[in-house]
Homo-oligomer: A and B are copies of this chain.
Amino acid sequence: MDRKKVVIAGGGFGGLSVAHALKGLPIDITLVDRQNHHCFQPLLYQVASAVVSPADIAWPIRNILRNQSNIRVVMADVLGVDVDAKLVKTDSVALSYDYLVLATGATHSYFGHDDWAKYAPGLKTISDATQIRARMLLAFEQAELATDEARRRALLTFVIVGGGPTGVEMAGAIAEVALQTLPHDFRDIDPRSARILLIEAGPRVLPSFPEALSAYAGETLRKLGVTVMTSSPVTECDGTGVTVNGERIEANTIIWGAGVVASPAAEWVGAAHDQAGRVKAEPDLSVPGHPDIFVIGDTAAVHDSKGRQVPGIAPAAKQMGKYVGKLIAGELAGKPRPAPFVYHHQGDLATIGTHSAVVNLDHLTLKGIIGWLFWSVAHIYFLIGIRNRFVVAISWIYGVFTSGRGARIITLPDNARSATRNNVR
């Protein structure tokens, strides 16, 4: 029983890639995650905007890995790491390791205003997405009943903070819900009168894209009915609205897409980290001073060959996971560590509503309906499982032909629902 033990913390894109790269080796791998499911985060905004159901973009981690007999999956919260005893502490079991891979992702950053979190939920988990969906749908329900005009206007005002891909996708999706899906469902309000504001602190939306695509995205959002405000940092945020450029905007629904902060991996292993909490990794993605511990994906501060921070997107996490998996496999076979990790940027994609997208690849940019078709095929391809591909494809095709949204149900548990309704009242 001297099989080496590998613990992978996190069942996201990074963690799963490490697992896959270690397939078939005579080692004992434990993958630990606080959720029972892997979530396809690039489509989370479609759960939040009622296009698809949670189960369409999430899979039980242990089911994904069922045929990999050297892996155990443990559903538990990681609380810390004892680097001397080589032990991962969780809320239930302790897991000993010879190699540890920290792939615990990131959460929203409110830039020092953590109290904003309860007013402006972000979009990182299935639970975030169903909460945002419920909040958005309840706002229309309550607006229908509101007797006070100012109150009704606040209920029909949706603020999205942050003009990156998540913000752009949410703004476009909410605009389509209000302008195309809901109009015939209400009697006392016109959902088309809803105000959707996308608020970005920097000078343009989609800052990681070429300027021409940013401009196109802004223009397309405006045509969808979104008010795009750039160079407009949010200075206040509370239960009734936000303050931007000194102006108060009363809004019932505020969605946060402005920043992320890494999970506390740096703290667990006592490592130096950058401003966003990401561990400053060695070129081989190990933690300085701990060659047996690796950080990947959103928990790692890594730079590409041009000195730019590797972005927090799925392909980057997958590349790092594969690299670390191969490194561990090689070392176990007695090989020296490989050349440093090199990130290959494949491109950036963002949708703007259900009929348009911007795509920026190495030698190719696409936009509009062609961009959207490219985006659709790419995302359907990366979804796991035949059932999910079918169901998501059907939901999209249904959306194209009907402007309908199949998943428009409010599914908060009864007590949470009352709480939300009281909050927003």
Interface residues of A (CB under 8 A from B): 35-37, 50, 53-56, 58-60, 62-63, 66-67, 71-76, 92-93, 125-127, 130-131, 137-138, 141, 144-145, 184-188, 385-388, 390-391, 394-395, 398, 404, 406-414, 416
Q: Is the CB of A411 within 8 A of B130?
A: yes
User: What are 23 of the A-B contact pairs (CB < 8 Å)?
Assistant: A36-B137, A36-B408, A36-B410, A54-B411, A55-B409, A58-B409, A62-B186, A63-B185, A63-B408, A66-B184, A66-B185, A73-B187, A74-B144, A74-B145, A75-B138, A125-B414, A127-B413, A130-B411, A386-B398, A387-B398, A391-B391, A394-B394, A416-B416
Q: Is the CB of A60 within 8 A of B390?
A: no
- Of chain B, the residue at the smallest CB distance from A184 is B66
Query: If A36-B141, A185-B62, A185-B66 touch, does A404 touch B387 (CB 8 Å cutoff)?
Result: yes
Could you tell me the distance between the alpha carbons of A55 and B398 in the complex, rounded to whole angstroms? Answer: 14
Q: Is the CB of A55 within 8 A of B127?
A: no
Cβ 8 A contact of A394, one of B93, B387, B413: B387
> Chain A at the B interface: mostly helix, strand, loop or mixed?
mixed
Cβ 8 A contact of A188, one of B53, B72, B404, B414: B72
Contacts A36-B409, A55-B408, A66-B185 known; list 6 others, CB within 8 Å.
A36-B410, A73-B185, A73-B187, A126-B411, A385-B406, A386-B398
Q: In the complex, which residues of chain B have a beta carbon less than 8 angstroms from the beta carbon of A385? A: 406
Chain multiplicity (copies): 2
CB distance from A218 to the nearest CB of B (A): 31
Could you tell me the distance between the alpha carbons of A205 and B414 in the complex, rounded to whole angstroms? Answer: 31
Q: Is the CB of A409 within 8 A of B126?
A: yes
Residue of A56, A188, A388 contacting most chain B CB atoms (<10 Å): A56
Q: Is the CB of B388 within 8 A of A391?
A: no
Q: In the complex, which residues of chain B have a beta carbon less than 8 angstroms from the beta carbon of A138? A: 36, 75
CB distance from A67 to the nearest CB of B (A): 7
Cβ 8 A contact of A416, one of B145, B187, B410, B413: B413
Q: In the complex, which residues of chain B have a beta carbon less than 8 angstroms from the beta carbon of A56? A: 53
Cβ 8 A contact of A72, one of B58, B74, B187, B408: B187
Q: In the complex, which residues of chain B have a beta carbon less than 8 angstroms from the beta carbon of A391? A: 391, 394-395, 406
CB distance from A239 to the nearest CB of B (A): 19
CB distance from A137 to the nearest CB of B (A): 6
- Of chain B, the residue at the smallest CB distance from A188 is B72
Q: In the complex, which residues of chain B have a beta carbon less than 8 angstroms from the beta carbon of A407? A: 53, 55
Residue of A50, A72, A75, A398 contacting most chain B CB atoms (<10 Å): A75
Cβ 8 A contact of A395, one of B67, B74, B93, B387: B387
Residue of A62, A73, A388 contacting most chain B CB atoms (<10 Å): A62
Cβ 8 A contact of A53, one of B55, B74, B404, B413: B55
- Of chain B, the residue at the smallest CB distance from A395 is B387
Q: In the complex, which residues of chain B have a beta carbon less than 8 angstroms from the beta carbon of A412? A: 127, 413
Q: Which 6 A-B pairs have the closest CB atoms?
A: A53-B53, A55-B407, A37-B409, A62-B185, A75-B141, A66-B184
Could you tell me the distance between the alpha carbons of A188 and B93 in the complex, rounded to whole angstroms? Answer: 14
Could you tell me the distance between the alpha carbons of A93 and B395 in the complex, rounded to whole angstroms? Answer: 35
Could you tell me the distance between the alpha carbons of A385 and B405 in the complex, rounded to whole angstroms? Answer: 11
Q: Is the CB of A145 within 8 A of B93?
A: yes
CB distance from A240 to the nearest CB of B (A): 19
Q: Is the CB of B67 within 8 A of A145?
A: no
Q: Is the CB of B127 within 8 A of A92?
A: no
Q: Is the CB of A408 within 8 A of B60?
A: yes
Q: Is the CB of B185 within 8 A of A131?
A: no
Q: Is the CB of A410 within 8 A of B53?
A: no
